Amino acid sequence: MSLNLEQYVSEFSAQNINGEHLLQLDGSKLKALGMTSSQDRAIIKKKLKEMKASLEKARKAQEKMEKQREKLRKKEQEQLQRKSKKTEKSSSDATEGTNEQ
């Protein structure tokens, strides 16, 4: 509707075309849905291309964030292990010092 193509809404609805299905449409599928105007198909295909690019960009950003979180989690884990080892070593040293006295 925002593309001024509301004449196709009823057919898209009747065919259960949702966002996921919409992204899978190409020129021939649009034609099969009753979109006979090549201009209208071009408008839809251009918008779909923009949407796919936007989704891909968002997916990559999400993957990057997940990698950063995983890296941070590993770093925190390593710091905890080092701290634990230091604590074990210092308590071990203290025990040895007590035993020597």
The tens digit of pLDDT for each residue in 69-86 reads 999 999 999 999 888 887
Read off the CATH number of the domain in which 32 is found. 1.10.150
Does residue 99 surpass a pLDDT of 60? no
Residue from 37, 39, 30, 28 nearest 11 by CA: 30
Q: Identify whether 94 is part of a domain.
A: no
Mean pLDDT confidence for 55-61: 95
Does residue 59 surpass a pLDDT of 90? yes
What CA–CA distance (Å, rounded) separates 22 from 44?
10
Structural domain boundaries, residue 43? 6-80
pTM of the model: 0.61
Q: Identify whether 35 is part of a domain.
A: yes
Paired tokens of 77: 């884990």
Q: Identify whether 85 is part of a domain.
A: no
Q: Identify whether 44 is part of a domain.
A: yes
Q: Identify whether 54 is part of a domain.
A: yes
Per DSSP, helices labelled H in the chain are 9-14, 19-22, 27-32, 38-100
Q: Identify whether 89 is part of a domain.
A: no
pLDDT score, position 100: 54
> What is the average pLDDT score of the chain?
87
Q: Between 96 and 45, whose confidence is greater?
A: 45
40 burial via Cβ count (<10 Å: 0-12, 13-18, 19+) = middle
Structural domains counted in the chain? 1
16-35 pLDDT per residue, tens:
998 888 889 999 999 999 99
Residue from 46, 55, 44, 31 nearest 4 by CA: 44
